[in-house]
Structure 1
């Protein structure tokens, strides 16, 4: 058996060449994502307080 080592000529950090432009979100899509992320945060906090009822409520002014 031979000890043949195959090496790529491409740089490991090279990015693939893409000719497509990125898809840009519309203002309404951005607003929708912001509302969704806000609600996810609210629901996550509610779940944490449900699981750990003895924890103090965070100060809303610190957010």
Structure 2
């Protein structure tokens, strides 16, 4: 099964968002992140989800 990207522009936007959050949290993201801990990577992903939910909730009120 091949993966198709529904909104190609979102890929770069999410990458930028991930790098922004990582920078704010002090997690040194780069091209290869295999040397980072699961806790470091998870903190970035968790913060991204938190902010996306907050953004969504602010638009529906």
Instruction: Report the TM range for the smaller structure's normalisation.
Output: 0.3 to 0.5
Query: Highest Rg: 1 or 2?
Result: 1
Q: With structure 1 as the length reference, what TM-score do the two structures score?
A: 0.39
Q: With structure 2 as the length reference, what TM-score do the two structures score?
A: 0.40
Higher relative contact order (CA 8 A, sep 6+): 2
Structure number having the greater helix percentage: 2
